[in-house]
Amino acid sequence: MKKTRREFIKQGLAVVSAGAVAPTVFVKRVLGKPDPAYLANANMERTLVVIQLNGGNDGLNTLVPYTNSIYYSLRPNVAIPANNVLPLTDNLGWNPYLVEMKAIYDSGEMAILQNVGYPQNSRSHFRATEIWNTANPNSTFEFKGWLGKYIDASLAQTNNPLVALSIGGSLPLSLRARTSVPAVGNLDDFQFRTDTRYTNDSQNNKIPLLVQIHKEDLSERLLLDYLRQSGLDTYISSTTLQEGIKKYRSTVQYPATTFARQLQMIAKVIAADLGTRVFHVSQGGYDTHINHSDPTRVIGHDLALQTLSKGIDAFYADLKQMGKADNVLIMTVSEFGRTIKENGNRGTDHGTGAPMFLIGLGVSGGLFGEAPNLSRLVGGEPVFDTDFRSMYATVLEKWLGVDAGVSIINANQFPRLDFIKA
């Protein structure tokens, strides 16, 4: 069957428009209505910001067991000297480059979950990240992420193409859903691009034509419907975002790091009140097989922690300045910790549990769980204390107000924690 010229243009514009806003990833918008029971207690005003510490954060050099002789005997070159740590408890201290995060903790606005992991944890970056992103250690493949399931069940009904946003240019598995979720590398680049040689013609003709074509009913043609909706979502989300971020005003000085700039992008979107409820951003630098730490200079793991601390400090100050800190929860995750014993390259290898941080005015601050017991090892590593699914379930139920069972298999097996204020 021959295609008409208009059908050809329609298909072409759909494909082009989906790629015109780069870098971004879209998946098909969910169809159907969410379960009213699931939404009964949902808090649609609250926002979750997930910071993924890529590579496996070393828990022992983050929260340092500075009175433990085993720690120093196993790490003669990369251990943090006891006189350098910042005090936390009688036996535990902060890495000296976490000054800003210590101040947030001291204010009572940070919860630390110690030694978080899961049974028989994978030490493969790819598999471990997949497990954390899906909250399912028992499956080798899941289409949706744990937050993607939440998005589909609670946020898809808003018909807002910006209900969730990944900053950094790629879509993490945790946010993968049937609902459209954009991944943005740079806010300034997230817009519909037209031929700059003919500005007026492009703006006055091309964009209205795009919207008109994509709004036409193509429901009987599933592929074209998918392309049409993707193109329309792309246009709407990009124009809404560009208009919204113009509202951003801040006197907070962010550090000149990629991570801090990405956090500032999130701050701009939050300030715009666009209804974005879930954000994801990644920070690298934690896979420290070599040059893990050096007391004479800031390298490796220390540099990553310094970047994290200063970036979070600026972002959190910005949230407070704009009056948004009450409804934003910041949560760090990392696929595993590091080995308790250093390797032969002044580094550490893939380990087991690690601490996670939760920050916000809605947080009940303090230490949760037990620190790694360096005298009780399985396979040469400490046994984890808190299952990461307990953390997820607590965030879903006590912060977002939804049933954790939708996102986590056998959710009732994992105790809820008390790091969210009632």
pLDDT in tens, 66-93: 999 999 999 999 999 999 999 999 999 9
- Residue of higher predicted confidence among 227 and 266: 266
The pLDDT-based confidence of 222 (bands split at 50, 70, 90) is very low
Share of residues in the chain with pLDDT > 70 (%): 79
- What is the spatial distance between Cα 77 and Cα 278, in angstroms, rounded to a whole number? 40
Q: Which residue has the higher pLDDT, 275 or 32?
A: 275
Tokens matching residue 74? 């196993």
Q: Is the pLDDT of residue 229 over 70?
A: no
What's the average model confidence in pLDDT over 248-264? 97
The pLDDT-based confidence of 38 (bands split at 50, 70, 90) is confident
State yes or no: pLDDT of 119 exceeds 50: yes
Helix locations, 89-244, DSSP H: 99-106, 125-134, 146-150, 199-201, 207-215, 222-244
Residues in the chain, overall count: 422
Q: How confident is the model at residue 21 (pLDDT cuts 50, 70, 90)?
A: very low
Spatial contact of 292 and 305, defined as CB atoms under 8 Å apart? no
Where are the domains positioned within the chain? 23-190+254-413
Confidence of residue 31 (pLDDT cuts 50, 70, 90): very low
CA distance 229 to 235: 10
Q: Which residue has the higher pLDDT, 61 or 226?
A: 61
Mean pLDDT of 202-226: 51
**Three-state DSSP state, 17:** helix
pLDDT(281) > 60: yes
Q: Which two tokens stand for residue 135?
A: 């909250």
Per-residue pLDDT, 151:
95
Question: Which pLDDT does position 197 carry in this prediction?
Answer: 59
Burial class (CB in 10 A: 0-12, 13-18, 19+), 277: buried
For 203, the 3-state DSSP assignment is helix
Is residue 297 pLDDT above 50, yes or no? yes
User: CA 373 from chain center: how many Å?
Assistant: 29
Which tops the pLDDT comparison, 213 or 176?
176
Confidence bin at 225 (pLDDT 50/70/90): low
Residue 134 has pLDDT above 90, yes or no: yes
Question: Taking 70 as the threshold, does the pLDDT of residue 27 lie above it?
Answer: no
The pLDDT of 290-319, averaged and rounded, is 97
65 phi/psi in degrees, rounded to 5 = -80, 70
* Residue 166 token pair: 């990944």
Q: Return the pLDDT at 30.
A: 39
Q: Flag whether pLDDT at 355 surpasses 90.
A: yes
Mean pLDDT on 174-202: 74
Confidence of residue 25 (pLDDT cuts 50, 70, 90): very low
Percent of the chain with pLDDT over 90: 70
DSSP 30: P
Dig out the tokens for 264 from the structure.
Answer: 């500032």
In this prediction, residue 9 carries a pLDDT of: 39
pTM metric for this prediction: 0.85
Fold of 23-190+254-413: Alkaline Phosphatase, subunit A (3.40.720)
Closest CA to 288 of 102, 95, 83: 95
Residue in this structure with the two tokens 């300045």, named with its chain if needed: 321
pLDDT at 195: 57
Write down the pLDDT at residue 293: 95
Contacts of 24 (CB under 8 A, 6+ apart): 169, 182, 183, 184, 190, 234
Report the distance separating Cα 132 and Cα 370, nearest Å.
Answer: 21
Q: What is the reported pLDDT for 139?
A: 77
Residue 294 per-residue DSSP state: B
C-alpha–C-alpha distance, residues 51 and 45, integer Å: 20
